[in-house]
Structure 1
Amino acid sequence: MLERTEAEVLLTLAQELHFGRTAEQLRMTTGQVSRIVKRLERRIGADLFVRTSRSVALTTIGACLVEELTPHLAGIDSAVRRAVEAGRGISGTLRVGFLGAGAGQLLLKAVALFGVRQPDCAVHINEAQVHDAYERVFSGAVDVLITVLPVRGVRVGPQLLSEQQLLAVPVGHPLAGRGEVSMEVLADHPVVQLPDTMPEETRLARIPAATPSGRRVLLGPKADTFPEILALVATGKGVFPVGEHAARFYPRPDIAYLPMPDAPPVRWAPVWLAANETSLIRSFVDCAVAAASTGGTNSGG
């Protein structure tokens, strides 16, 4: 069994590859770090690092040990953090994000309620973009994100918002004069594409590969942000399905928004990494649910 100090020395040295910096970071002496590494190597029966007068490098055995040990140590840290939070009550810092203006308004209401319930917790608000929203969650840049569904690889909270889909088209477009359109028009006009950094299931839920009758959807150019999507629509490069809120939050003289009654609703919920779940996140999700219940269900992002 590795002691906690041994594991910290191993992982820190693997990252720094320098005994002096490792010692400084862990508030040890270089001699202490060296002795701990040698003790580990004797116990394992193999070198974990190759040392020269100019460099330090992991051996193959050392690299494998670090790779397998890292997630376990992170899990221990998370478990201890959750226990500390439970013992002290909820306090600290919470990083929350939102994708879309409607989700942003709901988030602000949730933050206000959260501030009343948990006055000792600081909240940092982040506006995510289409191209990086989910990466912010996966990387830990935000603790919880209010975003569009579906998405895999994260824990999904209760649905907060649901709204009808509209089709954004240029005002001079042949479809613009219609009262409503069917999803079948997506096979006749190029559809602006979401970036590949968005999870595939999320992209396909908004822009399917085929229409309900089986016709292939006509693919248009890609965009990384919602303003870019609207710019491409306005300049006639493509059409794009949006949530109903877009007509209210993004009214433009060069874009018309047409109802698509046969399209599935756009759904929104808070998501977070299961491994990072804390009492702070659970409390904020409760606040988001309460904010959504008092603000209606048709104001997504």
Structure 2
Amino acid sequence: MLERYEIETFLTLADELHFGRTAEKLGVTTGRVSHVIKKLERRIGAALFERTSRVVRLTPIGRQLADDLAPVVAGMAEAVRRAVDAGRGVTGHLRVAFLGEWTAPTLLKAVSLFSRRHPDCEVSVHEVQLYNSRSSLADGSVDILLASYPFDGMANGPALLWESRVLAVSTAHPLANAVSVSLEALGDHPVVQYPAVTSAAFKRDRTPERTPSGRPVPKGPTGNTFSEMLTLVAMNKGVLPVGEHSRRYYPRPDLSYVPIHDAPPIERGLVWLQTNTTARVREFVRAATEANADHGPSMKAAAG
């Protein structure tokens, strides 16, 4: 059985590959580091590092040991952190937000369960728009957001909602009365664009630059909000792939929503800054996943 200080010394040296820096980081002497590593190598029966006067390298056995130990140590640290969080309780203030009206009920179910579990933590609910969804997370005005995937550059939890895709077109558009369309249709009509501040991965998913066969997709005008984008569609300035719930939450006499029969479903879930992974955020993600556990299979089937 390895001692904690042996594991810590070994993993630090495996990361630094320098005895002096390892000693400085651990607050011990280089002699102490060397002694611990030699003792560990005697116990294992093989060299863990190749040492020369100029370089320190992991041996294959050393690399395997480092790869095996690192996740175990990380898991132990996470277990201790969870225990500390549980002992202290989840308190303070958590700012949660939603993007898109139909996601609000899912978020509120999570708020209800979280608040019952952690009554000492105040939760405030906000709505964000396309143009400020990312900046709200970046500047800390929102801690966690229920939004569409992908949302690049952010940590995310499991998907909570799924929906099929439809194509929003003007009622005067040639496709308005179609039973369904293919993604290939995007190559034949300008596509209204999301704001420049929107996640790049999200824009590639919703408004791709090419059709599945590789044809370029012509770009239409850009809107700052979803309602503004739909208004551009109604003006026949372009078409826009959206989620099927737009039929219910954005019904308009000047718009038609046509099913896209070969598009994958849209997924939505919680996103947040990786550096803001607090106990409050972790517990809210857990509450949201449990509170909406019944959504997955049925909505996936509907989306398929």
TM-score (norm 2): 0.68
Partner of 2:89: 89
Confirm or deny that 1:242 pairs with 2:248.
no
- Per the alignment, residue 38 of structure 1 pairs with none
Q: 1:128 to 1:279 in 2, by over 3 A?
A: same
Q: Render the CA deviation track for 1:7-33: whole Å, top value 9, x for unaligned.
A: xxxxxxxxxxxxxxxxxxxxxxxxxxx
Whole-angstrom distance in 2 between the partners of 1:239 and 1:291: 35
How much has 1:241 moved relative to structure 2? 0.6
**Residue 201 of structure 1 aligns with which residue?**
201
Provide TM-score, normalisation by structure 1.
0.69
User: Is it true that 1:222 corresponds to 2:251 in the alignment?
Assistant: no
Measured after TM superposition, the shift of residue 145 of structure 1 is 0.7
Secondary structure of the corresponding residue to residue 231 of structure 2: helix
TM-superposed CA distance for 1:128, in Å, is: 1.0
1:174 correspondence with 2:174: yes
Contact 1:187 1:211 in 2 (8 A): yes
| Residue 289 (str. 1) matches residue 289 (str. 2) | yes
Unaligned runs of 5+ in 2: 1-80
Equivalent position amino acid for 2:126 in 1: N
Aligned to 1:165: 165
- Please list, as runs of the form range in 1=range in 2, the aligned pairs for 1:139-158 lying within 5 A after superposition: 139-158=139-158
1:151 Cα deviation from its structure 2 partner = 2.1
Change (3 A) 1:179 1:187: same
- RMSD of equivalent CA atoms: 2.1
1:157–1:285 Cα contact (<8 Å) kept:
yes
Per the TM alignment, residue 129 of structure 1 is displaced from its structure 2 partner at its CA by 0.5
1:14-163 equivalence runs, <5 A: 86-163=86-163
Counterpart-to-counterpart distance in 2, 1:297 and 1:134: 27
- Match for residue 185 of structure 1? 185
Once residues 82 and 231 of structure 1 are traced to their aligned partners in structure 2, the CA distance between those partners, rounded to angstroms, is 48
Q: Once the 2 structures are TM-superposed, how far is the Cα of residue 132 of structure 1 from its aligned partner?
A: 1.3
Contact 1:90/1:118 (8 A) holds in 2: yes
Instruction: State the AA in 1 paired with 2:282.
Output: R
Contact 2:162 2:268 in 1 (8 A): yes
Q: Runs in 1 of length 4+ with deviation above 4 angstroms?
A: 81-87
Counterpart of 1:197 in 2: which secondary structure? coil
CA contact (8 A) 2:152 2:200 kept: no
Name the counterpart of 2:8: none
Q: CA deviation at 1:140?
A: 1.6
CA distance in 2, matches of 1:222, 1:83: 48
3-state SS of 1:294 partner: coil
1:137 Cα deviation after fit:
1.3
CA distance in 2, matches of 1:215, 1:97: 37
Paired position in structure 1 for 2:51: none
Deviation at 1:102, TM superposition (A): 2.1
CA contact (8 A) 1:192 1:229 kept: yes
1:293 match: secondary structure: coil
What is the match of residue 280 of structure 1? 280
Aligned to 1:158, what secondary structure does the other structure show?
A: strand
User: Separation in 2 of the partners of 1:182 and 1:191?
Assistant: 14
The answer as to whether partners of 2:149 and 2:266 remain within 8 angstroms in 1 is yes
Count of equivalent residues: 220
Residue 270 in structure 1 maps to residue 270 in structure 2: yes
Paired AA for residue 299 in structure 2: T
**Percent identity for Structure 1 against Structure 2:** 48
